[in-house]
Chain A
Amino acid sequence: MLKRWIVMVLLMVGCQPQPRTVEVSAPQVGSVSKTVAPVSSVISFLDRTKSAGVHFAYRNDEDHSDFAILESLGGGVAILDFDRDNVLDLFLPGGGVFHSPAIVGNSSALLRGSTNWRFADVAAEAGVVRSKYYNHGAAVADYNEDGFDDILITGYGGTTFYQNQGDGSFRDVELLDDRMWSSSAAWGDFNGDGVLDVYVAHYVDWSLDNHPLCAGPQGHPREVCPPRQFEGVTDVIYFGNGDGAMRNATTEAGLKPQGKGLGVVAADLDLDGDLDLYVTNDTVPNFLYMNTGNGAFDELALISGTAVSDLGTSDGSMGVDVGDYNQDGLPDLWVTNYERENNAMYRNLGKGLFRHVSRPIGIAALGARYVGWGTRFLDVDLDGDEDLIVANGHVIRFPQNTPRLQRPLVLENIDGARYGNVTDQAGEYLSAAHCGRGLATGDLDDDGDEDVVISNLNEPVAILSNETNSHHNWLTLRVIGRHSTRTAIGTVAVAKLGKVSLLRQIRGGSSFASTSDSKLHFGCGPVTRIDELTVTWISGACTILKDVACNQVLTIVEPATASN
């Protein structure tokens, strides 16, 4: 059993003032050696769902045969430690039913984790079983800064906010006045006032009164209508007032109208010390909101090259994450898309520009036969570079080009230059087809590598333990903000291992309708000590640690003064 070290770090080394902008020239693909571990391991995941006693499934009520677009979205996964017992738990939205005139939610599950991969559903005791709305996503953050994770549930007709009472129970609090159809949400302190804000992505204007009949392919009189049949609904951003309430700040933030939002990630994309937002839209251009520093945004997706595909056309975009796939020190954007559209890797070129590089890095070689949803960067084999995992599954009932049930994808990062598909070898669950939607990552068994939870449509959630026998070293970093919000979304950590620098960032949102564990994970390969670990807090403060031992969970608290 690995020793778990908790280090409250107050012996900080002063660091350089955080620059407002970072200028990095465009790197050539594959120009730098990116890995700390030259030998790759056999990537493997074990399906622990049944042995964990978990049978919970998201139900979309498609048996009702209403062919409503509402049924196509599915649900997410949240990995959190709601009771602070240092064992990760799961929150799973349950979906809903739509019997005209009422659209109501199914019960959610709160699975408390215990050792040896066992989970117990404590939703009823915790007071989160009830769902007012047909639900989709779960966005987790410590909104009221009390040290306990709170849960925002997105869905049709409204959001639900469950405030953690700290005693194992939650209280349903009316936090947002949002009655639109919401899919994903991302927490973050967008205006830098030390109070968490939240961005809520809205989908389309479907309702039982706006429910057209769409013809199916030959032999099927009806099919779920495509999103272009509906108008997009403008997303909304709420700023925390600091008194527990939130205000609708959509106008002051300068959000664009419409969009058909499905995924959102909050991260500092230009490393200028404030939180930016990237929103994946279905069939219309994606949004890239660059923060001007005070919570007002410039939407620059088209200009930056992140709005559309490499063909210049809008994709049906669903999932999203931010990582530094080529280890050039700049956060890149990863977006999962509809069939016949390649999942998109937008390489950050610096200066606010990105390049769609899915073809040169081998993503296009996967074949455009997947409908991609939840996704995360994670270093599966702990070799230092960030691999990818994607949940796939079709949105319509009778797809013509690809099957409805689809295999997930595990993509191994090869030297920061290319991705290879290693799904075949990754275990029984991943080799089979599912109707995947939400996906979240976290180290559920505290062995140093990240495990995965995937939510499927009308099929039990999948709890997958990472069994990749890499013998590689690792470092897990938990950061706790003080001037930054406690969740410290946007905080960037860079680990230097010889000539290689690994950048990780705490993201708000990401994937689809899901929340991953907020700890940062570094794969160290054969290296046992990290030369230097720099944590740049979103507040601007900086923490530098030298000669950090691997194979520990390191907790770093933001320094007391904001400057250093």
Chain B
Amino acid sequence: MTVSTEPSSSHHPPRPYWPVVIVVLLTLGIAAAAVWPRYFGPMARYQRGRDALISGDRVAVEHISESLIHTAGYEAHGWLLRGLLLMRSGKLQEATGCLGNAVEDESLAVEANYTAAQCFYRAGMYPQTVQAAQLALERDPDCLEARRWLASAYYDLGNLTHATVELARISAAAPDDPRPDRLLGLIAKDSEQFAKAIEYYRESLRRAPNQPEADAIRTEMAESHLKLGQFAEALAALRPCPRSAAVLTLEAECFNSTGDVEQSQARLRAALAVDPKYFPAKLMQGKVLLDEGKSDEAEKVLKEAVQLEPQNSQAHFQLSQALRRSEKITEADEELQKMQSIQAIHREFSDLHEDADARPGDVEVRYRIGDLAQKLGKPKLAILWYRAALSIDPNHAKSRAALQELSAAR
């Protein structure tokens, strides 16, 4: 079979194809012009960059942010992306530098500011956190993220009055979020406003009864009820909680306060079975023994308690009573002296907290609270206060030295 390669000798002249090409090209061009910015324009790149951030594609984010920084009109987007990436990499100071460039674009300023607030907060720079969050809120008073960082910074600065205001706003704006009310509860409890604390805890649990912190909230709520002498309510709050030493001891305290010695002692035994070194249970056991007139047994138990928490004034006080009843007067006097010196520290500690609330920029107050927290055997708390001091004055030598010393010890 032969195949001819010759063009067909038809009788029609060949049609020109170029108009079709043009039409196709035009169509493609129009389509490309329409689609290009969506898929390949700066905004598209920016969006891809944000997706890459979420997926953890660091290289892509770096590449896109770099290209945006050099794209006229989209520099701020590039800086924001880069700032976000650096924050996630823990390079907080560099991140805040980039975010500072991003605030130039009005549409990004709110996010740039609250992200900067987050960076400052994570770097322990609480006054700067407050500033950045406030800048975000000036532009968008409804920005919850900014308010969260603002509340956290106030809390860590010891400025509880402002923290409470911000948390209440967050609580109102996010009616399903259980966290603000939990923190409000904690602040109210620390401020000895127990009735208020209970309201906040209830609200937090109403919003999310099964939140991960639910048992801790119930325990804090029970402690508040106990302070108000609401023993039945305290027991009810503790009922759903796992039988930890803390829960059992709180229950023991409720029963002890209502004169149900048998139940109280059963709970105490159970608490010490769960954790033989649980200080509150040990202390209470000593007190109960003293109430029963068993001075020798009380002395033994209370000595163990003092060893567990040497900075607890109550333990020294009870031990002094046990010793005095056994006519060990010198030892009893020594314990009383220890109790008094610890209480003096506690008094100053408490007074300084009020000062810290009233004077948000006072470095020395924060350093002193840290120092006293250390003396009271609360190193974690001490670290927080030293950090608060350094957030106000990064060159505060005493805070820095104390923090280094504590970190080394840990």
- A and B bind: yes
Known pairs A308-B317, A312-B313, A400-B196; A353 contacts B258 (CB<8 A): no
Whether the pair A360, B293 counts as a contact (CB closer than 8 A) is no
Whether the pair A303, B259 counts as a contact (CB closer than 8 A) is no
Whether the pair A369, B229 counts as a contact (CB closer than 8 A) is yes
Distance from B117 Cβ to chain A, minimum over Cβ atoms (Å): 25
What CA separation (Å) do A401 and B316 show in the bound complex? 30
B44 CB–A CB distance under 8 Å: no
B287 nearest CB neighbor, chain A only: A310
Contacts of B196 in A (CB 8 A): 400
Distance from B259 Cβ to chain A, minimum over Cβ atoms (Å): 5
Whether the pair A367, B343 counts as a contact (CB closer than 8 A) is no
Contacts of A11 in B (CB 8 A): none
Contacts of A367 in B (CB 8 A): 228-231
Whether the pair A312, B324 counts as a contact (CB closer than 8 A) is no
Whether the pair B290, A355 counts as a contact (CB closer than 8 A) is yes
Whether the pair A368, B229 counts as a contact (CB closer than 8 A) is yes
Distance from B354 Cβ to chain A, minimum over Cβ atoms (Å): 10
B107 CB–A CB distance under 8 Å: no
Known pairs A303-B324, A367-B229, A369-B229; A357 contacts B257 (CB<8 A): no
Contacts of A366 in B (CB 8 A): 229
What CA separation (Å) do A308 and B346 show in the bound complex? 15
A173 CB–B CB distance under 8 Å: no
Whether the pair B336, A302 counts as a contact (CB closer than 8 A) is yes
Considering only residues 210-250 of chain A, those with a C-beta below 8 Å from chain B are 217
A417 nearest CB neighbor, chain B only: B259
What CA separation (Å) do A361 and B257 show in the bound complex? 9
Contacts of B333 in A (CB 8 A): 303
Whether the pair A364, B293 counts as a contact (CB closer than 8 A) is no
Whether the pair A340, B194 counts as a contact (CB closer than 8 A) is yes
Whether the pair A365, B287 counts as a contact (CB closer than 8 A) is no
Whether the pair A312, B258 counts as a contact (CB closer than 8 A) is no
A376 CB–B CB distance under 8 Å: no
* Contacting residue for B193 out of A353, A355, A368, A401, CB 8 A: A401
Considering only residues 188-230 of chain B, those with a C-beta below 8 Å from chain A are 192-196, 227-230
Whether the pair B228, A340 counts as a contact (CB closer than 8 A) is yes
Contacts of B192 in A (CB 8 A): 340, 401
Known pairs A312-B343, A353-B324; A360 contacts B259 (CB<8 A): yes
B96 CB–A CB distance under 8 Å: no
What CA separation (Å) do A159 and B282 show in the bound complex? 50
Distance from A281 Cβ to chain B, minimum over Cβ atoms (Å): 15
What CA separation (Å) do A247 and B140 show in the bound complex? 72
A6 CB–B CB distance under 8 Å: no
Whether the pair B339, A28 counts as a contact (CB closer than 8 A) is no
Contacts of B314 in A (CB 8 A): 311-313
A48 CB–B CB distance under 8 Å: no
Considering only residues 264-286 of chain B, those with a C-beta below 8 Å from chain A are none
Known pairs A359-B259, A364-B257; A305 contacts B321 (CB<8 A): yes
A526 CB–B CB distance under 8 Å: no
* Chain A 310-353 interface 0/1 with B at a Cβ cutoff of 8 Å (1 = within): 11110000000000000000000000000010100000010001
B261 CB–A CB distance under 8 Å: yes
Whether the pair A362, B193 counts as a contact (CB closer than 8 A) is no
Contacts of A26 in B (CB 8 A): 293, 325
Considering only residues 226-276 of chain B, those with a C-beta below 8 Å from chain A are 227-231, 256-259, 261
B292 CB–A CB distance under 8 Å: yes
* Chain A 2-40 interface 0/1 with B at a Cβ cutoff of 8 Å (1 = within): 000000000000000000000000101100000000000
Contacts of A313 in B (CB 8 A): 313-314, 343
Contacts of A28 in B (CB 8 A): 292-293
B314 nearest CB neighbor, chain A only: A312
Contacts of B405 in A (CB 8 A): none
What CA separation (Å) do A311 and B287 show in the bound complex? 10
B291 CB–A CB distance under 8 Å: yes
Distance from B263 Cβ to chain A, minimum over Cβ atoms (Å): 13
* Chain A 355-390 interface 0/1 with B at a Cβ cutoff of 8 Å (1 = within): 101011110111111000000000000000000000
A504 CB–B CB distance under 8 Å: no
Whether the pair A357, B291 counts as a contact (CB closer than 8 A) is yes
Known pairs A310-B287, A340-B227; A401 contacts B259 (CB<8 A): no
Distance from B305 Cβ to chain A, minimum over Cβ atoms (Å): 13
Whether the pair B231, A400 counts as a contact (CB closer than 8 A) is no
* Contacting residue for A368 out of B228, B321, B339, CB 8 A: B228
Contacts of A305 in B (CB 8 A): 321, 324
What CA separation (Å) do A357 and B290 show in the bound complex? 10
Known pairs A303-B336, A355-B290; A365 contacts B324 (CB<8 A): no
Q: Which of A312, A359, A360 has the most CB of B within 10 A?
A: A312
Contacts of B287 in A (CB 8 A): 310
Contacts of B332 in A (CB 8 A): 303
What CA separation (Å) do A349 and B295 show in the bound complex? 13
B318 CB–A CB distance under 8 Å: yes
Distance from B333 Cβ to chain A, minimum over Cβ atoms (Å): 8
A418 CB–B CB distance under 8 Å: yes
B227 nearest CB neighbor, chain A only: A340
Whether the pair A353, B325 counts as a contact (CB closer than 8 A) is yes
A362 nearest CB neighbor, chain B only: B259
Contacts of B325 in A (CB 8 A): 26, 349, 353
Whether the pair B193, A400 counts as a contact (CB closer than 8 A) is yes
What CA separation (Å) do A418 and B192 show in the bound complex? 29
Q: Which of B192, B291, B324, B325 has the most CB of A within 10 A?
A: B291
Given known contacts A361-B259, A369-B229, what 7 new A-B pairs fall within 8 Å (CB)?
A: A26-B325, A311-B314, A312-B318, A359-B259, A367-B230, A368-B227, A400-B193
Spell out A's residues near B (CB within 8 Å).
Answer: 26, 28-29, 217, 302-303, 305, 308, 310-313, 340, 342, 349, 353, 355, 357, 359-362, 364-369, 400-402, 418
22 contacts between A and B (CB under 8 A): A308-B317, A312-B314, A312-B317, A312-B339, A340-B194, A349-B325, A353-B324, A355-B290, A355-B291, A359-B257, A359-B291, A360-B291, A362-B259, A364-B229, A364-B258, A365-B231, A367-B228, A367-B230, A367-B231, A400-B193, A401-B194, A402-B195
A-B pairs, 6 with minimum CB distance: A367-B229, A312-B317, A364-B257, A368-B229, A365-B258, A362-B259
